Structure 1
Amino acid sequence: MAPVPAAVVFVADVARVAAFYCDVFGMARLEGDAGYAVLARDGFQLTVHALQGEPMPLGGVREDAYVKVCFPVRSIEAARAAAARAGGEIWPADRAWEAPSRGFRACDGRDPEGNVFQVREAL
């Protein structure tokens, strides 16, 4: 099997954050244990990996992460509601922006541990 595009997000509570990405983005759990979970959707894998003793960020948001994962969604509004139910959030509609040349509207959000991600819906 060939490798697929992937990203890793480091968290304190693997089970909670993995459930968030499955619930909000329809990812499927491929494998894992208490220390990690590999999730997949549409040829992309996200590994949710346990932190090695690092503290939670001040204010609860890791905005200065080196990687921001962008997820395609059918509806930012629907994803916003799902994120809230799952313990995260997607910023309010007034913080969304459009990239007409690339065909999408985008908005950032955070998972339950403050890792920032982006959702994108087609224009």
Structure 2
Amino acid sequence: MPSTTPPPTRPALVGLAVYAVDLDRLVAFYRGVLDLAEVERGPGFVTLADTSCELSVVAIPAEIAARLTVGSPPRLQEDAALKPVFVVASLAEAAVRAAELGGGTRDQDSAWTFRGLRRLDGFDPEGNVVQFAEVV
């Protein structure tokens, strides 16, 4: 049975932390695809935000990062327990920007609509699976 509850009008999540092998590359990806501003930078982290989303990209400690291989294209982390959903102005534009910045999305034909948002799965340059969504 389809849901009749409207999508939330306020964010249910204050923020999200993403751990990175390559801090600057992931910052460039999320800043570029999600159009977020850098609001804080410190040793080993950068926080990006707008009025509805706060994303902290945190460097994985060097001794651990040295043992990790990202690959090109990255191996998708599809076995993760969480998949963040980011609202964007345009799925088509997000797909282009994601590819330009080392990530990607599934084909536009695989997008679907659920709870007032058209959704498309994608991934960042380190293979973290994300979902982009636009208001319909």
| 1:64 is aligned to 2:79 | yes
SS at match of 2:77: coil
| 1:103 is aligned to 2:116 | yes
The Cα shift of 1:95 comes to: 2.0
The Cα shift of 1:87 comes to: 1.1
Contact in 2 for aligned 1:15/1:34 (Cα 8 Å): no
State the structure with more CA Rg: 2
* Equivalent of 2:88 in 73, 90, 105: 73
User: Distance between the aligned counterparts of 1:78 and 1:44, measured in 2?
Assistant: 19
Q: Which residue of 1 aligns with 2:133?
A: 120
Unaligned runs of 5+ in 1: none
Aligned length: 118
% of aligned pairs identical? 36
Structure in which a larger fraction of residues adopt strand: 1
RMSD: 1.8
User: Distance between the aligned counterparts of 1:11 and 1:90, measured in 2?
Assistant: 19
Q: Which residue of 1 aligns with 2:24?
A: 15
TM-score under structure 1 length normalisation: 0.86
- 1:120 partner amino acid: A
Q: Which residue of 2 aligns with 1:89?
A: 104
